[in-house]
């Protein structure tokens, strides 16, 4: 009869560490790919608080008539900051439990820690997007450099209602109409010199649309369905009848289909459009210190030797901020 397997403390701790780190690396890449169109991740950071700066639009050339002085132009700079925070979690286990573990439950828990660490960017991204409060994340949601939240319905970027509007999710037709209005808004945005803010190639490039997972069917109909309901048509032959003629999906015809991302992190039927080709993403994270870990076992810990409790601790330092959010538009829809 085979005996109970014996797990050496240091070897078992190393196994937990390997499970957590391996899961972290895989999930981190998945999250980075998912957020790449709407968030710049892990800008290098060398201090506790980083200072960011941008110049407002440079003046445009004006005609210079012969015999006149050259017209002078000016523009100003804007400075804003982002603070790095500490993020940490540890796994503790009783040494005896580790010796007798037959279920690999501690390794499973380690994989969960790795997943949770990798999800930090996504969790904070949605906290900023929704203006939410979460004691485990940012103590407060940062404003954009122009002094207001990432989405604001006051005059902004040359638009009277800023980068937000009322939205509906009652049908695919309505969602497509709202989506077109977002593309129109991007085209009407102005820089600080009153000129078009976006290059046409950015607006015509890849788009990302994020929405409440409970509205999955309506968004699939809006962008994936090839033929959609058109206008009512009355036929007189062979008998009078009114039918709804099917028409092609104009978003597909115009090659403007966005990547759609449904998520349970949005729970109020609102939806968000992003221009993925914009060089400046509306949200960013900065990395001060990458994920690190420390193993505490009988070999190196007085607590372990005294109380029989071993552990692996994980921590990192990073911060988050909001750039000028002219590459995103929100449709607010009541829950």
Q: Can you tell me the mean pLDDT for 225-237?
A: 62
Q: Rounded distance, CA 50 to CA 92, Å?
A: 34
Q: Rounded distance, CA 142 to CA 320, Å?
A: 8
Please give the model's pTM, rounded to 2 decimal places. Answer: 0.85
Query: How many CB atoms are located within 10 Å of the residue 285 CB?
Result: 21
For residue 312, whether the previous peptide bond is cis, meaning omega lies within 30 degrees of 0, is no
In this prediction, residue 294 has a pLDDT band, given cuts at 50, 70 and 90, of confident
In this prediction, residue 6 has a pLDDT band, given cuts at 50, 70 and 90, of very low
Q: Can you tell me the mean pLDDT for 270-280?
A: 96
- Which is more confident, 240 or 181? 181
Given a cut of 80, is residue 325 above it in pLDDT?
Answer: yes
The DSSP-derived string for 229-283 is EEEEEEE-SSS-EEEEEEEE-HHHHTT-PPEEEEETT--SS-EEEEETT-SS-SE
Q: Rounded distance, CA 129 to CA 141, Å?
A: 9
- pLDDT above 90 covers a percentage of the chain that reads 55
H/E stretch holding 88:
strand 77-94
CA atoms within 13 A on the CB side of 270: 18
**Chain segment 105-126, per-residue pLDDT in tens:** 777 777 888 888 899 999 999 9
Residues in CB range of 183: below 8 A, 6 or more apart: 203, 256
Q: Can you tell me the mean pLDDT for 235-249?
A: 61
Query: So where are the chain's domains?
Result: 9-55+80-332
């Amino acid at each position: 009869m085979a005996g109970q397997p014996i797990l050496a403390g240091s070897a078992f701790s190393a196994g937990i560490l390997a499970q957590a780190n391996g899961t972290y690396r895989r999930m981190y890449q998945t999250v980075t790919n998912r957020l790449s169109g709407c968030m710049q991740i892990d800008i290098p950071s060398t201090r506790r608080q980083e200072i960011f700066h941008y110049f407002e639009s440079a003046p445009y050339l004006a005609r210079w008539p012969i015999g006149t002085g050259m017209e002078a132009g000016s523009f100003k700079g804007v400075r804003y900051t982002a603070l790095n925070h500490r993020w940490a979690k540890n796994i503790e286990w009783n040494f005896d439990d580790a010796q007798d573990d037959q279920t690999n439950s501690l390794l499973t828990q380690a994989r969960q820690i790795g997943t949770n660490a990798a999800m930090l960017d996504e969790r904070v991204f949605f906290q900023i997007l929704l203006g939410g409060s979460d004691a485990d994340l940012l103590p407060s949601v940062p404003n954009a450099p122009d002094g207001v939240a990432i989405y604001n319905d006051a005059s902004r970027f040359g638009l009277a209602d800023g980068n937000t509007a009322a939205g509906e999710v009652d049908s695919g037709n309505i969602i497509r109409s709202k989506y077109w209005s977002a593309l129109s808004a991007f085209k009407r945005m102005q820089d600080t010199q009153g000129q078009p803010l976006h290059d046409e190639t950015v607006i015509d490039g890849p788009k990302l649309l994020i929405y409440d997972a409970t509205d999955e069917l309506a968004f699939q109909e809006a962008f994936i369905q090839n033929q959609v309901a058109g206008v009512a048509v009355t036929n007189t032959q062979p008998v009078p009848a009114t039918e709804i003629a099917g028409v092609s999906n104009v978003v597909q015809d115009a090659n403007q289909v966005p990547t759609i991302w449904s998520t349970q992190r949005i729970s109020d039927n609102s939806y968000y459009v992003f221009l993925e080709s914009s060089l400046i993403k509306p949200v960013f994270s900065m990395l001060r210190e990458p994920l690190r870990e420390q193993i505490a076992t009988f070999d190196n810990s007085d607590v372990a030797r005294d109380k029989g409790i071993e552990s692996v601790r994980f921590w990192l330092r990073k911060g988050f901020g909001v750039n000028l959010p002219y590459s995103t538009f929100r449709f607010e829809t009541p829950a």
